[in-house]
Amino acid sequence: MTEYKPLQHLPEPAGYKAGDVLVLVGELFGRGYANGLIDEARRIGMTVIGTTVGRRDSDGSLRPLNTEECADAEALLGGTIINIPLEAGFDMESVDGVPSIAEQLKKARPDDFATINFIEGSVENARAAGTARFRSNLALLQSELLQRIPADSNILIAHSMAGGIPRARVFMPLLNRIFKGTGDKYLASGVFWDSPLGQLCNASFNEVTADTFRYLIEGTAALRERNSGSETRVCYSAYGYHGTGVLVNGEYRWQSYTPYVQGFAKMRLEDIAFEASANGIPATVYNCPEIQTNSSALFLGVEISLYPLLSAIRREAGAEIAAPLEARCQGLLKEGETVADLLERADCYLASPILDQIEDFSTWPQHNTRTQAELMLASSAQLMEMHADQKQLVCAELSKIVFLATGRLMLHYSWNPTAATVWLNHDIIGRLLADQRGAGIV
Ligand SMILES: NC(=O)c1ccc[n+]([C@@H]2O[C@H](COP(=O)([O-])OP(=O)(O)OC[C@H]3O[C@@H](n4cnc5c(N)ncnc54)[C@H](O)[C@@H]3O)[C@@H](O)[C@H]2O)c1
């Protein structure tokens, strides 16, 4: 089992310089974590090369971006994109005329989730086909990288992929019940997880969130070989999640969003980094704090543990840095509401004995219970209610700080990593802001 290893000290500045390259594997979205890595790479003069997951045509076939899509994606990235579709997963794969998993689930009803079956062998065959497609597209990516990146450049290959909810209508109502359901709508994540649909999700999350990191490391061996024997480095990073240390009741404490069923795949991702590191390949999984992005929007309540970042910043970086940020956050609240009350409510949830009974690092990830789900969702709603405008949230402000800060920490740590998995908790983010290495983030 992974040892809980929070990053304690700010990493020394990396040796990356102009001409060195950050390759982002996973598409960039406006408020996603990868923006932080890109921002830092650009700040220190590195070249950024992006990739795409591609798009599905109406007949289901996977294609590269068209000219307009590619121009939009490159504008967002601020760099060139290698236009090879790197979608991972297997839900749309049809093998030997057998309908794809998505096709087989077309008429499935949410109420039947515990009894749904798939054509024998079809999940395994689809998975093998999805893996083969992804690996062959990675081979094309590697050829492009070999051509575009000079042999004397250092390279950081950053994995940002996570996901894998199969594209079938049956999932949304079920996932909404698991992540957002209370009362009669509540669905126990453990019951779902043990069902055939839950196990399908398990296989799909493993493939998209974890195994793509293995394929990426294996599929870029020629880049490493080209650079071996020289002074240049080829390093790997990936975004993990395995709970976060945040201030609860005045002390830093590990806690986690529940039910993070993707956590099984995230632990597999950690194992892949361990294996690579043991083989001398610098690969690190950075377990990052809960923030609001396109991908986390489904997990209502995940944002509660982000509020105490304000307290951590005040503690680690001091009033001079914290006060203007707190004032900005105060400006987002309804009249009569205060940041102090906001923090108190978040703390009240995080310090609840109900969470204490459930959360446990050694048996993570935990499944939800009705009491916990209802407490979390009610707390989340109360905190949201304190805002003047539901579209301008304190957590959006804090999310940006987190993705920028983690980007800096990751990029510099990746130069000479001393662990295959590290936690970037609220304290180290606060400490970065206190240092000149964190200048300009807040
Ligand atoms: N948001 C959080 O609270 C949080 C916390 C810790 C770690 N992370 C991790 O950070 C990383 C980036 O996520 P984010 O929250 O910034 O959201 P995001 O939506 O911006 O990024 C998700 C990434 O996954 C890729 N992706 C999704 N489905 C894919 C598929 N089938 N095949 C290939 N790629 C696919 C997307 O292209 C994108 O690059 C993820 O690994 C995520 O698990 C997020």
User: What's the DSSP call for residue 149?
Assistant: S
403 CA closest ligand 1 atom index: 16
Query: Ligand 1, residues 55, 207, 295, 364: which to mutate, most atoms within 8 A of Cβ?
Result: 295
| CA-based nearest residue to 21, from 52, 51, 53 | 51
pLDDT tier for residue 49 given thresholds of 50, 70 and 90: very high
Judged against a pLDDT cut of 80, whether residue 1 lies above it is answered with no
Judged against a pLDDT cut of 80, whether residue 257 lies above it is answered with yes
Q: Is 303 in the pocket of ligand 1 (CB under 6 A)?
A: no
Give whole-number Cα distances, 355 to 363, 373, 376, in Å: 14, 10, 9
Cis omega (within 30 of 0) for bond into 259: yes
Cα separation, 103 vs 92, whole angstroms:
8
> What pLDDT, on the 0 to 100 scale, is given for residue 392?
96
Distance 341 CA to ligand 1 centre (A): 32
> What pLDDT, on the 0 to 100 scale, is given for residue 426?
98
Distance 316 CA to ligand 1 centre (A): 28
Residues 155 and 182: beta-carbon distance below 8 Å: no
Mean pLDDT of the chain: 96
86 CA closest ligand 1 atom index: 33
240 CA closest ligand 1 atom index: 7
Residues 295 and 163: beta-carbon distance below 8 Å: yes
- pLDDT tens readout for residues 318-375: 999 999 999 999 999 999 999 999 999 999 999 999 999 999 999 999 999 999 999 9
Residues 282 and 154: beta-carbon distance below 8 Å: no
266 CA closest ligand 1 atom index: 43
Within a 10 A sphere around the Cβ of 150, how many other Cβ atoms?
Answer: 10
Cα separation, 139 vs 134, whole angstroms:
9
Distance 208 CA to ligand 1 centre (A): 10
Distance 242 CA to ligand 1 centre (A): 14
Distance 337 CA to ligand 1 centre (A): 33
> What pLDDT, on the 0 to 100 scale, is given for residue 33?
98
Portion of the chain with pLDDT greater than 70, in percent: 100
Non-local (6+) Cβ contacts of 93 within 8 A are: 100, 101, 125, 126, 127, 129, 130, 133
Residues 262 and 209: beta-carbon distance below 8 Å: yes
Determine phi and psi for 294, rounding to 5 degrees. Answer: -55, -40
Amino acid identity, position 375: L
Cα separation, 361 vs 412, whole angstroms:
27
Following CA atoms 384, 385, 391, 394 in sequence, which dihedral angle do they give, to the nearest 10 degrees? Answer: -50
Q: Is 211 in the pocket of ligand 1 (CB under 6 A)?
A: no
**Cα angle for residues 335, 337, 339 (degrees, 5° grid):** 125
| CA-based nearest residue to 182, from 322, 347, 301, 273 | 301
Of all protein residues, whose CA lies closest to atom 10 belonging to ligand 1? 239
> What pLDDT, on the 0 to 100 scale, is given for residue 296?
85
Q: Is 37 in the pocket of ligand 1 (CB under 6 A)?
A: no
Distance 103 CA to ligand 1 centre (A): 25
Of all protein residues, whose CA lies closest to atom 35 belonging to ligand 1? 161
Distance 27 CA to ligand 1 centre (A): 9
Cα separation, 355 vs 364, whole angstroms:
13
Judged against a pLDDT cut of 80, whether residue 137 lies above it is answered with yes
Q: Is 21 in the pocket of ligand 1 (CB under 6 A)?
A: no
> What pLDDT, on the 0 to 100 scale, is given for residue 154?
97
Residues 365 and 265: beta-carbon distance below 8 Å: no
pTM beyond cutoff 0.85 = yes
- pLDDT tens readout for residues 174-205: 999 999 999 999 999 999 999 999 999 999 99
Q: Is 293 in the pocket of ligand 1 (CB under 6 A)?
A: yes
> What pLDDT, on the 0 to 100 scale, is given for residue 428?
98
> What pLDDT, on the 0 to 100 scale, is given for residue 361?
97
Q: Is 88 in the pocket of ligand 1 (CB under 6 A)?
A: yes
Task: Tell me the average pLDDT across 226-240.
Answer: 92
Q: Is 347 in the pocket of ligand 1 (CB under 6 A)?
A: no
> What pLDDT, on the 0 to 100 scale, is given for residue 2?
85
Q: Is 143 in the pocket of ligand 1 (CB under 6 A)?
A: no
Judged against a pLDDT cut of 90, whether residue 30 lies above it is answered with no
